[in-house]
């Protein structure tokens, strides 16, 4: 990576602001339900502690819309972080202002302070200069380790670097960029992209960018039925984007013209309604009943996709194969998770729902890399520049 990283900086005795992505799910009792994102930033935090920095952590949580909301406090994160670090984590009642400045002034080398939710201030999402300056004034060095928010032009992502002397990427941000950019720019072939999820429109850029680079494309999930309808087949009440039919047809034709192997489901699990417990059956895609909903890929599709994956050397997977949140329609996604995990390949999972599905399939440990950022991963795979990365200085500057 050509950006300056944490390894390029001296952190001893400096106040180091680390922008982390602690946007974690909380359960009904407001405890951390999944701490993957917290654990992902530990290498960066530990490096700063080991070097004797005064570590100031900041993050957003949820969408409080610029107002204080006790249900979206980062206090539970401070508690979980304390357990992982094995040391006290101070928690600030705000992220800027005199009370925070006093806490920072009292910090000793090796201390860790977590600021309250950045999005309790409207200045965060507005990328307000005054708010950025107030945050930057708390530190001497800024480390961005929040890949999941790197596609946002917010104060804590692009504002702080304008007003602080030194900035760099943390270990997680560096790892995410290297895996995702590396897979696309310089893959070991055969390179297979598995794309799922609900809509074609949400993945246009990814389909266009990856279409030029892959050897095989596998399409599943709700978006597959836009492609299937574009071929003139009946899809019943299945999810479809009628304004995307021409685009879908063009993508397929473009793939064929380039010699890219293009796979769509050959069968699917259909249900009489989307209600839990509705009648289901497995049908070929040519025989989807008129008023039924296709909600998962079927066993023949699983076999086809698994065979397509087998000789891959690089696999990039973004988007589930069906409505995997419901057990009746989870089999396709789980089967693909096992197939990807068993492939003798570099396997990259593109965050969000796909990461959750892989976790549910018990295959997280068997993937080469699971991205922590859904939206940011998508934008990177589209070939877009991430604002959080652009804001950091290059290594030679």
**Half-sphere exposure of 354 toward its Cβ, with a 13 Å CA cutoff?**
32
- Give residue 326's region: left, alpha or beta (phi > 0; psi -120 to 50): beta
Which residue is catalytic, options 199, 213, 249, 360? Answer: 199
User: Strands 293-297 and 267-271: what pairing?
Assistant: antiparallel
What is the distance between the alpha carbons of residues 88 and 114, in angstroms, rounded to a whole number?
Answer: 11
CA dihedral 281, 285, 287, 288 (to 10 degrees): 60
What is the distance between the alpha carbons of residues 178 and 346, in angstroms, rounded to a whole number?
Answer: 13
User: Strands 112-114 and 54-58: what pairing?
Assistant: parallel
Report residue 275 as tokens: 């209600």
Which residue is catalytic, options 350, 352, 373, 374? Answer: 352
37 is catalytic: yes
199 is catalytic: yes
63 is catalytic: no
303 is catalytic: no
Which residue is catalytic, options 15, 37, 54, 216? Answer: 37
What is the distance between the alpha carbons of residues 378 and 151, in angstroms, rounded to a whole number?
Answer: 10
Q: Rounded to an integer, what is the distance from CA 82 to the centroid of its chain?
A: 25
**Catalytic machinery residues:** 37, 199, 352, 375
């Amino acid at each position: 990576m050509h950006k300056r990283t944490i390894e390029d900086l001296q952190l001893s005795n400096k106040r180091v602001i680390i922008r982390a992505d602690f946007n974690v799910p909380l359960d009904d009792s407001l405890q951390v339900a999944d701490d993957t994102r917290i654990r992902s930033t530990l290498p960066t935090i530990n490096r700063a502690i080991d070097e004797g920095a005064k570590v100031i952590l900041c993050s957003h949580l949820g969408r409080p819309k610029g107002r204080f909301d006790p249900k979206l406090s980062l206090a539970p994160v401070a508690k979980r972080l304390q357990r992982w670090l094995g040391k006290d984590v101070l928690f600030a009642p705000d992220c800027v202002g005199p009370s925070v400045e006093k806490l920072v002034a009292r910090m000793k080398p090796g201390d860790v302070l977590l600021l309250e939710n950045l999005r309790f201030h409207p200045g965060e999402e507005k990328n307000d200069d005054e708010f950025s300056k107030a945050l930057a004034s708390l530190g001497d060095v800024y480390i961005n380790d929040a890949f999941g928010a790197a596609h946002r032009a917010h104060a804590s992502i692009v504002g702080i670097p304008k007003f602080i002397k030194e900035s760099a990427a943390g270990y997680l941000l560096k790892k995410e960029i290297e895996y995702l950019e590396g897979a696309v720019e310089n893959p070991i072939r055969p390179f297979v992209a598995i794309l799922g999820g609900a809509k074609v429109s949400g993945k246009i850029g990814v389909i266009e960018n990856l279409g030029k680079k892959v050897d095989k494309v596998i399409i599943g999930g709700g978006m597959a039925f836009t492609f299937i309808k574009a071929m003139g087949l009946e899809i019943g009440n299945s999810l479809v984007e009628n304004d995307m039919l021409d685009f879908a047809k063009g993508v397929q034709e473009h793939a064929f013209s380039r010699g890219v192997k293009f796979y769509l489901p050959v069968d699917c699990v259909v249900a009489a309604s989307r209600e839990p417990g509705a009648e289901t059956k497995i049908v070929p895609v040519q025989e989807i009943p008129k008023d039924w909903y296709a909600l998962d890929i079927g066993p023949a599709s699983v076999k086809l996709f698994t065979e397509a994956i087998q000789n891959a050397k690089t696999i990039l997977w973004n988007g589930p194969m069906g409505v995997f949140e419901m057990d009746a329609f989870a089999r396709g996604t789980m089967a693909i998770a096992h197939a990807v995990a068993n492939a003798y390949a570099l396997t990259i999972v593109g965050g969000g729902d796909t990461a959750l599905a892989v976790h549910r399939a018990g295959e997280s440990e068997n993937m080469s890399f699971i991205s922590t950022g859904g939206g940011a991963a998508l934008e990177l795979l589209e070939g877009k520049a991430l604002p959080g990365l652009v804001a950091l200085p290059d290594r030679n500057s």
